[in-house]
Amino acid sequence: MPSQPSKNLDTFPNPHPDRDYIIEIECPEFTCLCPKTGQPDFATLSLEYVPDRLCVELKSLKLYIWSYRNEGHFHEDVTNRILNDLVAVTQPRYLRLRAKFYVRGGLYTTVEVVHRQSGWQAPPPPPADLPRETQELPAKQAAGAAPAQAPTAKPMPAAKTRNPVKLTEPVIPPAPAPKNRNPAPAPEPETPASDRFRMLRRSRRYDPPPEPEPELEPEEIVAEPVEPEPLPAPVRKDKLYIGIDLGTTGCRAIAVDDTGKVHGEMSAPIPTPPRNEDEVTQDPTVWWKAVTGCLQNLLKQFDPQRVQAIAVDGTSGTLLLCDAKGGPVTPAIMYNDRRAVQQAKHIASLAGDHSGAHGPGSALAKLLWLHDKKLDKRAQHALHQADWISGKLTGQFGHSDYNNCLKLGFDAEKNDWPKWFSKLGFDAALLPEVHAPGESLGTLSADIAKTFGLPADVEVLAGTTDGVASFLAAGPTESGHGVTALGTTLVLKLLSDKPVFSVEHGVYSHRLGNFWLAGGASNSGGAVLLQYFKVEQMREMTPLLDPESVTGLDYYPLPDIGERFPINNPEMGPRLEPLPGDSITFFQGMLEGIARIEAEGYQLLGKLGAPALTRVFTTGGGSQNPAWTRIREKILRVKMEKPRSGHAAYGSALLAAGIVTKTFQ
């Protein structure tokens, strides 16, 4: 039988990891489909990389390239996708991929993408006669043909006229300064009101533009010799604690003292994860690059020797498989990846209502999908976003917290993995050791402490999810306090003295010390507003709204088909009719509809056993709209409270400082 196309990339150990050398691979037969016309696009792929511990095996690469033949991709996306997959599997010191597409419609397209390992220093340019390894990707293997053999190094012919990549890095334009995570668009020219408030043609999905990837080169800091502390050691009163938040398109780090006062803050963008229908993945190396950039710039704002502890939060449900040393063996499957439908059905047949692992978006469904595709063979750990970053800081992988592990199936009530896991078939050794958020995972590794100029005894504490961290940042302290996040989606969390679960309604509960955070996430929110209005239009219309008068429009705003909470119906469509005579009334009707969804969500939590809502802290971009705040107050009949902070990183900083543990025990 001939080989079949596959997305599984195999590797073999680098035979000479002690030196830098270049491997060149050329594939003149790459084919994918135009996503607009369905016609084939042809390209020559030129890959040149400096391996670290692993090299890519050629037969698996051939089958990987072949797997794109019947898939629709834009040139820019497919080139970056291939580079991300190669980097995730081989973790090279340097890699450049150049895709030269053949003519179509009189146009030639060439896309070139580059990866450089953090901290790697390119050696001087090599002599002209330096032996170089050149590999040609063979044509598809016929039935019965011998398997591809690993190439052997050979001297470069003197007459060869190709333009190889020098080991010195190419000149790259300076990266733009880090942008705000939610930048406002530039004001538009003044136009008549009828034009300014014109509704945009509705698109079914809102995908924000990708943030540019910053060039954040780590600085070399020489650690000074540590003098022995005098005895008895004085009690320091200037300790600082750092919280790190990893979002979909950005990273933020905040330092606080024992009282929660902020002493420094820094952010960095992360490239938007590429999407291919239900598949959403991300190269985890961009997380670490953003984290190192944030830490380096944050530590310039105060004496690094004051830092006592660090805690990390990340997106809930994002999953990454890595080896024993933390090297990724697959790209990270993001929280909003929905390919694991069949695996979710299998889990639903075994798990009870109190499991947080239901649905294709759960980390457990993603793990089963990877297992079914046999992509977990080389993995040692199944980790979440926050787990992997904490492991990079300590050098020890395989640890997590019970908030991140909720969607991996961990039973936070019994503080154990459920017995029905034995029927799933994957290797249970992949599961992390679970800790309470705020529990010590160890101290910084010697290399990390030296790189950032931090004390060697800085503790790294078990983190949490970004949603829980945002709740902590807002400032609720008592049962009945709720936090509403008005971002791209609408997320509710209510502090309860007991857990609340309902698969039917998309309700689950995170543990928080002796309390629980009951809640759910609706697909309604800012994304549907941006399908009709620009940000500047909404800002101009807000003063013209009349919160004291109800429009009477019974809207259920959704950006697309499907709802999760308070109605769990994947076939539910948006309800945005009838259309009024002006855009301002339409805008207010949508805001009222989202506010009713919020109220129905809190009412549902009460019916399921959570306490009655007494206070609401509101965060996210929508919380800055005063008219919307008044609309929500009238519908919820509860006063809106300003959050202590709107940043999840602040919640993680409170976790690092021990303030959270004291509050909820």
Identity of the residue numbered 476: P
For tokens 């301002």, name the residue: 584
**pLDDT exceeds cutoff 90 at 231:** no
Average pLDDT over residues 612-634: 90
**pLDDT exceeds cutoff 50 at 526:** yes
Tell me if residue 91 falls in helix, strand or coil: coil
Both tokens of residue 604?
């549902």
Whether 7 contacts 64, CB under 8 Å: yes
Nearest 5°: phi and psi at 117?
Answer: -65, 135
Q: Strand locations in 247-330, DSSP E?
A: 250-256, 262-269, 275-276, 279-282, 307-314, 320-322
The confidence band for 249, taking pLDDT boundaries of 50, 70 and 90, is confident
The bridge status of strand 240-246 relative to strand 307-314 is parallel
Nearest 5°: phi and psi at 432?
Answer: -75, 160
- The residues, ordered by sequence, that sit 6+ positions from 170 with a Cβ below 8 Å of its Cβ are 96, 114
* Full strand arrangement of the beta sheet holding 307-314: 262-269, 250-256, 240-246, 307-314, 459-465, 440-443
The confidence band for 583, taking pLDDT boundaries of 50, 70 and 90, is very high
Whether 314 contacts 404, CB under 8 Å: yes
Per-residue pLDDT at 144? 41
Identify which of 170-179, 199-208, 392-401 has the greatest average pLDDT: 392-401
Question: Cα–Cα distances in Å, from 593 out to 344, 354, 529, 575?
Answer: 31, 30, 11, 9
**DSSP string covering 116-181, please?**
E-TT--PPPPPPTT--BEEEEPPPPPPTTPPPPPPP--BPPPTT----PPPSSPPP-PPPPPPPPS
Query: What is the rounded distance in angstroms from the CA atom of residue 470 to the CA atom of residue 492?
Result: 11
Nearest 5°: phi and psi at 215?
Answer: -95, 100
Which of the residue ranges 34-38, 365-369, 418-422, 519-523 would you say has the lowest mean pLDDT?
34-38
**pLDDT exceeds cutoff 70 at 654:** yes
Per-residue pLDDT at 129? 63
The confidence band for 36, taking pLDDT boundaries of 50, 70 and 90, is confident
B/e letters for 243-266, b = 16+ CB within 10 Å, e = fewer, are bbbbbbbbbbbbbbbeebeebbbb
Both tokens of residue 109?
């397209």
The confidence band for 459, taking pLDDT boundaries of 50, 70 and 90, is very high
**pLDDT exceeds cutoff 90 at 131:** no
For tokens 């929110």, name the residue: 525
**pLDDT exceeds cutoff 80 at 100:** yes
Average pLDDT over residues 461-489: 92
Helix, strand, coil % over all residues of the chain, rounded to 5: 25, 25, 50
The confidence band for 133, taking pLDDT boundaries of 50, 70 and 90, is low
Q: What angle do CA 113, 119, 123 make, to 5 degrees?
A: 80
**pLDDT exceeds cutoff 70 at 407:** yes
280: β partners: 275
Tell me if residue 541 falls in helix, strand or coil: helix
3-state secondary structure 220-266: CCCCCCCCCCCCCCCCCCCCEEEEEEECCCEEEEEEECCCCCEEEEE
The confidence band for 207, taking pLDDT boundaries of 50, 70 and 90, is very low
Tell me if residue 295 falls in helix, strand or coil: helix
Both tokens of residue 520?
């759910």
Question: Cα–Cα distances in Å, from 204 out to 201, 365, 411, 530, 562?
Answer: 10, 26, 37, 11, 12
Average pLDDT over residues 35-62: 90
Whether 55 contacts 96, CB under 8 Å: no
Per-residue pLDDT at 237? 60
**pLDDT exceeds cutoff 50 at 20:** yes
Count of H-run helices and E-run strands, the chain: 15, 26
The confidence band for 148, taking pLDDT boundaries of 50, 70 and 90, is very low
Query: Length of the chain in residues, anyone?
Result: 665
Per-residue pLDDT at 134? 56
The confidence band for 130, taking pLDDT boundaries of 50, 70 and 90, is low
> Higher model confidence: residue 56 or residue 149?
56
Query: What is the rounded distance in angstroms from the CA atom of residue 289 to the CA atom of residue 245?
Result: 13
What mean pLDDT, rounded, does the chain reach?
A: 84
